[in-house]
Amino acid sequence: MATHPLWWAGAAIGLALLSSLVSLFSARQPGVLRWLVSPLFALAGLSAVAAGLLALIDKDVATATLPLGLPWLPWQVRLDALAGFFLAVVGTISFAVGLYAPGYLRGFEGGDDSLPALGGFAGLFLTGMLLVVLADDAFLFMVAWELMSLTSYFLVVWHHDHAANRRAAFLYLLMAHVGALSILLDFGVLAALGHGFSFSAMRDAELSFGWATATFLLAFFGFGMKAGLVPLHAWLPEAHPVAPSHISALMSGVMLKVAVYGFIRVVFGLIGQFHWQWGVVVLVIGSISALMGVLYALMQHDLKRLLAYHSVENIGIIFIGLGLAILFLSTGHAVIGTVAFIAALYHTINHALFKGLLFLGAGAILHAAKERDLEKMGGLLRRMPWTGLFFLIGCISISALPPFNGFVSEWLTFQAALQAWQLDSGVLRSIVPIAAAMLALTGALAAACFVKVYGVAFLGQARSRPVRRARPVPLSMRLGQGVLAALCLLLGILPTFFISLLNAVPEGLLGHGLQQATSHGWLWLTPVSAQTASYGAPLVAIILLLVLVAGLWLFGRGIRRVRRCDTWDCGFSQPSSRMQYTASAFAQPIRRVFGLLFHIEEGLEGSQPDQQRYRLKVSDRAWGLFYLPVARLVERATRQVVRLQSGNIRIYLGWTLGTLLLLIWITV
C-alpha cells in the first residue's frame, strides 16, 4: 500500500493540513510553532515528491472517489503522469521552503504580525495547490482553486500595516477572481457539451471548432491571468513581493506552475484537439510576455519586484514552448510537438527551482540586512558567502547559461523552433523563427539583468550601514537554498535522466514520448536525431571543470596568496561606495534604447543647484493601456446598472420574476 502513489499524495495533503492545524492551535507555544509546523510542511512536500515520482515511473493512472462533496457529485481524484509531474514540482519547492522557514520566521518573532496565522494559511495554501493538481472533476478543481487563491490572498496581506500591501492584496484578489470566473465559464461549456462535471465526461465531449475555440480562449484567459501573461500581468509584481519571502517563493515558483498545469490539463487533456490558430495566439502572447517581462525587470531596483517581473518572463518562455507544441501537433508533426512540450515542462520545473532559490536568497538578504532595495546593497558576498554562492547559481541558471538547468530548456525550445522548416505555411514558417529571435533577445537581456542584480547586491562595496553589517543567515535557511541550488546543477548536467522521467507525461497525454532524445546514452541529449542536434551536458560540465582545475594548477599553483593593493583611483581620492555604478545606472543604456515601451518620468527635484536630486520613476505601460481603461469601462457600466436600483422592493421582485421567466424560457 505504501508504494501506491495516491497513498503518498494523500499523506502529503494530510501533512499539509496537519501543519496548518498545529500552527493555528499553537499560538501560545512558540517552540511548537518553530519546530513542528515547518518540518511538517517540508514532510508534506517530500511526500508530494514521492507521489509524483512514483506516478512518473509507474506510468499508471490511479483514481479514487472521496467521500466528500455533494451527494450526487462526489469528489474524484486522479493521479496520472501529468499530475505526478506537477506534484513533484510543488513538492520540491515546498520541501525547500519548509527547511528554510524556521530560520526565516525567527526574524518575525516578537513582531506585530501573527505567526500562527502565517503557518495556518501556508498549510492550507499547499493543500489547495495539491488538490488542484489531483482533482478529476470540475467541482473539486474549482473548490481547490479557490482554496489556493483565498489562502494566498491572506498570505499576501499578512504584513497588513502598510496601505500599499492591502491595496496590492486587494488587486490580487480581484484579478484571481476574474480569472476564476473565466475558468468556471470554461468548465461550464465543457460540462454542458460533455454532460457531466467529471473530467472523464469532458474528455469524451464532442466539440465543434467554434466551441473548442471558445473553451480554449476562456482557459487561456483564466489560467493566463493567474500565470501573469502580458497584458494581464500587472497584479503580479504588486502582489508577489509583499508576501514574506518564503511565501513569495511558493507563489512565484509554484502557484504560477499550477496555473500552467490548469492550462495544460484543459487544452491538452480535456479539449483533445489542436488548431494552428491557437498555437499562434499562445506563441505571440508568450513571446511578448517573455520580452516585456525581462525589460520591466531590468528597470526595477526592488529585488523582490524584479524577481516577480522575471516570473512574467519565464512564464512567457513556458508558453512559447506550449504554443510551439500546439502549432506542431496541429499540423501533424507529432515528434517536434513533443519536443516543444517537453521543453515547456522542463522549463516549468527549472523556473520553479531557480525562482524559488532566488526568492529564498532575497529573503536571506531581507533577514540579514532588512533591505530589499538594490541601490542600498553591495558587497554581500563577503558578508554571507553561502547565500552569495547559492544566489550566483540561481543567477546563472535563470540567465540560461550552460552548464546549468535554464540553458537546457531554452536549448530544447530553440531546437523545436528550428524545425519550423517542416511547416507547410510560409506565414507560420516566418512567425516561429521570429519568436525564436525574441527568445534569444530575452535570454541576453536576462543575463544583463542578473549581472546587474549580482554585481550590485553581492559585489562591490556596501552602500548602506545595515548591509555593511549583515550577518550570515542560520543553517536552516542555507539548507533550503542549498537543496534548490544543487537541483539546479543536477538538472543542468543530467538532462537525459530527467527527460526520460518526463517522457511519461507526453506518453499519457499525447500518446507518444520522446524516446529518441535519450537513445544515444546518458551523455547525449538528441531531441530530434543525432544528426540534427546534440548536447553533451555532462561533458561540457566536466571539461569546463577540468580546464578550470588545470588552469588553477598551472597558473594559480593552487590558491596562492595574492598581494593586495589599493584600487586604482586615477590619482584622485580613494574610491568610495557612492562612486560605484548603481542598479539604475547599469540599466540606463537599455532604458534609453527601449524607452518607448516604458512609462518614464524623470527630472530634477529642488530649485537650489546644490540641493537638486535626480528623480526617476519607471512604471508599467499595462496600467495606462489596459488596466485603467478596463476599470473606467467597468465603472461606467456600473453607473448604468445603478438605474435599476430604485429602492422599491416591488420593482426588485419584478426583475427577479422576469429573470426567472427568461431562464425557464431558455432552458425548456
- Interaction with another protein in 432-461: which residues (CB under 8 A)? 433-434, 436-438, 440-441, 443-445, 447-448, 450-452, 454-456, 459-461
Task: Verify binding: residue 350, another protein, rule CB under 8 A.
Answer: no
Residues 51 and 77: beta-carbon distance below 8 Å: no
The footprint of another protein on residues 384-403 (CB under 8 A) is: 385, 392, 396, 399-402
Q: How far apart are CA 314 and CA 306, in angstroms?
A: 13
Question: How many Cα neighbours within 13 Å face the side chain of 414?
Answer: 19
Question: ∠477-261-414 over CA atoms, to 5°?
Answer: 90
Question: CA–CA separation, 478 vs 458, rounded Å?
Answer: 16
SS3 157: coil
| Residues contacting residue 62 through CB under 8 Å, at least 6 positions apart | 4, 5, 6, 55, 78, 79, 80
Residue from 95, 172, 223, 586 touching another protein (CB under 8 A): that is: 586
Least Å distance, CB 556 to another protein, is: 7
List binders of another protein among 592-611 (CB under 8 A).
592-593
By CB under 8 A, tell whether 421 contacts another protein. Answer: yes
Shortest separation between residue 375's beta carbon and another protein, angstroms: 13
Cβ-contact 66, 76 below 8 angstroms: yes
Total chain residues near another protein (CB under 8 A): 81
The DSSP annotation for 574-616 comes to PP-GGGSPPHHHHHHHHHHHTGGGSEEEEEEE-SSGGG-EEEE
Residue 332 as a binder of another protein (CB under 8 A): the answer is no
Instruction: By CB under 8 A, tell whether 381 contacts another protein.
Output: yes
- CB atoms under 10 Å from CB of 567, counted, come to 7
**Residue that is written with C-alpha cell 535522466 in the block:** 497
- Work out whether 91 is an interface residue with another protein (CB under 8 A): no
Q: Is 629 in the site for another protein (CB under 8 A)?
A: no
Contact pattern for another protein over residues 458 through 477, marking x by CB under 8 A: -xxx----------------
Write out the binding residues for another protein, residues 269-328 only, by CB under 8 A: none
Stretch that binds another protein, among 178-186, 465-473, 562-570, 634-642 (CB under 8 A): 562-570
CB of 379 to another protein, least distance (A): 7
25, 35, 581, 655: which one binds another protein (CB under 8 A): 581
Tell whether residue 378 is a contact of another protein (CB under 8 A): yes
User: Which string of x and - marks every residue 111-130 that binds another protein (by CB under 8 A)?
Assistant: --------------------
Q: Given the rule CB under 8 A, which of 21-29, 346-354, 427-435, 612-620 is the region that contacts another protein? A: 427-435
Asked if 573 is part of the footprint of another protein (rule: CB under 8 A), the reply reads: no
Alpha carbon of 52 to those of 55, 95, 273, 477, 658: distances in Å? 5, 13, 26, 25, 51
Kindly tell me which residue out of 332, 466, 589, 629 binds another protein, with binding defined by CB under 8 A. 589
- Per CB under 8 A, the list member of 28, 465, 564, 636 interacting with another protein is 564
* Residue corresponding to grid cell 518614464: 600
Residue 482 interacts with another protein (CB under 8 A)?
A: no
d(CA 167, CA 163): 6
Does residue 489 interact with another protein by CB under 8 A?
Answer: no
Min CB(533)–another protein separation in Å: 4
User: Closest CB to another protein among 531 and 638?
Assistant: 531
Q: Residue with C-alpha cell 518526463?
A: 502
How far is the C-alpha of 283 from the C-alpha of 279, rounded, in Å? 6
**How many whole angstroms separate alpha carbon 383 and alpha carbon 393?**
17
**Contact flags string 174-213 toward another protein, x per CB under 8 A:** ----------------------------------------
CB of 463 to another protein, least distance (A): 10
The distance of closest approach from Cβ of residue 374 to another protein in the complex, given in angstroms and rounded to an integer, is 12
516 binds another protein (CB under 8 A): no
* Cα 599 from Cα 614, distance rounded (Å): 17
* Residue 61 binds to another protein (criterion: CB under 8 A): no
The three cell numbers of residue 583 are: 542598479
The one among 207, 499, 587, 618 contacting another protein by CB under 8 A: 587
Whole-angstrom distance, CA of residue 424 vs CA of residue 420: 9
Q: Which is nearer to another protein, 184 or 540 (CB)?
A: 540
Phi, psi of 617 (to 5 degrees): -135, 120
* Sole binder of another protein in the list 156, 193, 420, 502 (CB under 8 A): 420
Distance between CA atoms of residues 343 and 322, nearest Å: 8
Q: Is 566 one of the binding residues for another protein (CB under 8 A)?
A: yes
CB of 266 to another protein, least distance (A): 32
Number of residues written out for the chain: 668
Place of cell 530544447: 412
What cell numbers appear for 134 in the block?
A: 489531483
Contact status: 103 vs another protein (CB under 8 A): no
Task: Rank residues 180 and 294 by Cβ distance to another protein and give the closer one.
Answer: 294
Q: Which is nearer to another protein, 115 or 431 (CB)?
A: 431
Between 188 and 402, name the residue whose CB sits nearer to another protein. Answer: 402
**Measured distance CA(183)–CA(144) in Å, rounded:** 13
Tell me: does residue 540 bind another protein (CB under 8 A): yes
Please report how close the Cβ of residue 528 comes to another protein at its closest, in angstroms.
9
**CB of 282 closer than 8 Å to CB of 434:** no
Beta carbons of 412 and 346 less than 8 angstroms apart: yes
Under the criterion CB under 8 A, does residue 414 sit at the interface with another protein? Answer: yes
Query: Which of 70, 562, 596, 668 is the binder for another protein (CB under 8 A)?
Result: 562
Q: Distance between CA atoms of 583 and 301, rounded to whole angstroms?
A: 6
DSSP per-residue string spanning 284-318? HHHHHHHHHHHHHHHH--BHHHHHHHHHHHHHHHH
